[in-house]
Structure 1
Amino acid sequence: MVYDTFGSKPTEWAGKPYAEIQSIGESDGSIVVVPIGSIEQHGDHLPVSTDTILVDAAAHAGAEAADDDVPVVVTPPIWSGLSSHHMPFGGTLSLEFSEMLELVESVGDSALDNGFDAILLLNGHGGNMSLISTAINKIGEEHPDIEVSGLTYFYLASSLIEEVRDSDPGGMMHGGELETSLMLHLRPELVDEDEMTAVYAERKNDLLLEDLFGSGPLGTYSTFADHTDTGIMGDPTLASAEKGETIFEHIREEMGSLLDDIHEEVKAQD
């Protein structure tokens, strides 16, 4: 399963002529999805585009899983994010908060000019979460008649994770069991299995986030170099393509259901 060729997906904004995009946008209950990723180090075994590849795949898979009568289109991904905490390792292209917020707002505003009833900002990078929340509010204030939503895609797998994972808490952080499994399923040619190492970072306080699917109300600033020598925080050695397929199919179904719900909600408001 490959999600990397412009114009190859039926839900792809970039592969359609402008009149078709406008026709979709003007349909009742129409939705535009904006995938937002990053270009940042993911250890020695994964490409720097991992977050962008995965969120783009989730966006299109979910759009294709929605009911046939849901008018939905997916923009090209915003490929750079808030990744300054990865800069010590190199290979990272990061934006400032104000620059990225303006970018996301501008993409959202111009997309909505085509008549869409709803916009979903689909995030693929943990460092973008606070910005996505701000962007939802800013776009919502500018477009009070539009349904504006935001979501980090991997949380759609929350109800499944404990059944699938083999790693201890901390094994599904950055470049760990989750992301590596998804990449082994979607883009195995980009995964160097000989370079996989497990890094379970020590938490300095029990209130800090322990895992992508853990809890931790305390926020602090640090770079990844403060916690790991390899850029990895997690356990990619326990990853597999089979796990990746199971997780991705669950995300696809949950994403499709979400888009169905948004469609029905905005139709009912007309």
Structure 2
Amino acid sequence: MVCNIIGGEKYSWASRTYEEVQEIAEQDGSILVLPVGSIEQHGHHLPVATDTMLVDHVADLAAERVVDSVPILVAPPIWSGHSPHHMPFGGTITLDHDGLLDVVEQVVDSALENGFDGLFLLNGHGGNSSLISSATSIIGTSHPDVEVLGLTYFTLAASFIDEIRDSDVGGMAHGGEFETSLMLHLRPDLVREERLEGTYMDEPYEWGGKDLFEPGPLSVYRSFDEYTESGAIGDPKLATAEKGAEIYERLGDELERMLTQLYERNQ
């Protein structure tokens, strides 16, 4: 399975009856979390559903942290993202920009009919980031009574990642030390440890992105085969499950604070 779409957790939308969904949504300060991922190549060592799996796990962690005090549901993830730059490697299922934006809007429009006070769009793929930012404004405009937030989850690690990483700048990019560590912690059965391979990020423009945590001010389009032969960018050989566990829990700390503030603002 890509993710745990049907689960017994008390924050799982998919495991609820329609009456239970509405009961939670109608409570003061209720929050809907919508994870958005992708299906795209992640080198020789990680599955194509890595982004969707990770954002789904992170959404579940965030909800688990607050569910005893906050009315919250996590929707099944949108599993296909905007990934045309990965197409040369195969294994990728992509939506175009307008298609993904339309999917997000339609899912949200129908979900908010249940009465949620807050919406949290939680993104797990860098190629979706600008779209999720736009969707936050578009949905906020069309649903003025709902507090709408949008975030790419891994950006929250910028404040603490230097305490954990061993790679130099360029080692935590696509399929590198960061994502591989999280997968070794959460889904080690899906990591091909005998095939760990990546190329450090080397963007020729000095203003371009160097790493997940040094994105740079300049937007540059390149097909990923211009950066790497394996499909992975970064240093997955430095990844460990222990690093993944620490990253995961500290992301949970940040998201717990964020969701608590969202709830308190909407009561």
User: Aligning the two structures, in what range does the TM-score lie when normalised by the shorter sequence?
Assistant: over 0.9
Give the residue type in structure 2 aligned to 1:25: A
The farther-off stretch of 252-261 and 86-95 is 252-261
Structure 1 gaps, min length 5: none
Q: Residues 141-165 of structure 1, C-alpha deviation per residue, up to 9 Å, x if partnerless? A: 1101110110011112222100000
Q: Would the aligned equivalents of 2:31 and 2:71 in 1 still touch at CA under 8 Å? A: yes
- SS of 2:14 mapped into structure 1: helix
**Separation of aligned partners in 2, 1:13 and 1:71:** 12
- SS of 1:81 mapped into structure 2: coil
Other-structure match for 1:135: 135
Deviation at 1:9, TM superposition (A): 2.4
**Separation of aligned partners in 1, 2:171 and 2:68:** 37
Q: Residues 12-46 of structure 1, C-alpha deviation per residue, up to 9 Å, x if partnerless? A: 10011110100000000000000000000000100
Give the 5 Å matches for 1:75-154.
75-154=75-154
Q: Would the aligned equivalents of 2:198 and 2:228 in 1 still touch at CA under 8 Å? A: no
Structure 2 gaps, min length 5: none
Other-structure match for 1:205: 205
Q: Would the aligned equivalents of 1:7 and 1:16 in 2 still touch at CA under 8 Å? A: no
Other-structure match for 1:260: 260
**Separation of aligned partners in 1, 2:164 and 2:201:** 21
Deviation at 1:215, TM superposition (A): 4.0
**Separation of aligned partners in 1, 2:155 and 2:162:** 13
- SS of 1:122 mapped into structure 2: strand
Q: Would the aligned equivalents of 1:31 and 1:117 in 2 still touch at CA under 8 Å? A: yes
Give TM-score, length-normalised by structure 1. 0.96
**Separation of aligned partners in 2, 1:246 and 1:72:** 25
Other-structure match for 1:245: 245
Q: Would the aligned equivalents of 2:61 and 2:252 in 1 still touch at CA under 8 Å? A: yes
Q: 1:221 to 1:149 in 2, by over 3 A?
A: same
**Separation of aligned partners in 1, 2:45 and 2:163:** 25
Other-structure match for 2:13: 13
Q: Would the aligned equivalents of 2:171 and 2:201 in 1 still touch at CA under 8 Å? A: no
Give the 5 Å matches for 1:29-44.
29-44=29-44
Q: Would the aligned equivalents of 1:65 and 1:252 in 2 still touch at CA under 8 Å? A: yes
Other-structure match for 2:217: 217
Q: Would the aligned equivalents of 1:66 and 1:257 in 2 still touch at CA under 8 Å? A: no
Q: Would the aligned equivalents of 1:118 and 1:266 in 2 still touch at CA under 8 Å? A: yes
**Separation of aligned partners in 2, 1:18 and 1:206:** 52
**Separation of aligned partners in 2, 1:66 and 1:158:** 23
Give the residue type in structure 2 aligned to 1:262: L
**Separation of aligned partners in 2, 1:248 and 1:187:** 13
Q: Residues 199-235 of structure 1, C-alpha deviation per residue, up to 9 Å, x if partnerless? A: 1132211100100011411111111011100001000
Q: 1:108 to 1:5 in 2, by over 3 A?
A: closer
Q: Residues 235-255 of structure 1, C-alpha deviation per residue, up to 9 Å, x if partnerless? A: 000000000000000111211
**Separation of aligned partners in 2, 1:215 and 1:71:** 34
**Separation of aligned partners in 2, 1:188 and 1:126:** 23
Q: Would the aligned equivalents of 2:66 and 2:256 in 1 still touch at CA under 8 Å? A: yes
Q: 1:182 to 1:32 in 2, by over 3 A?
A: same
- SS of 2:166 mapped into structure 1: coil
Deviation at 1:67, TM superposition (A): 5.7
Aligned length: 266
- SS of 1:35 mapped into structure 2: strand
RMSD: 1.2
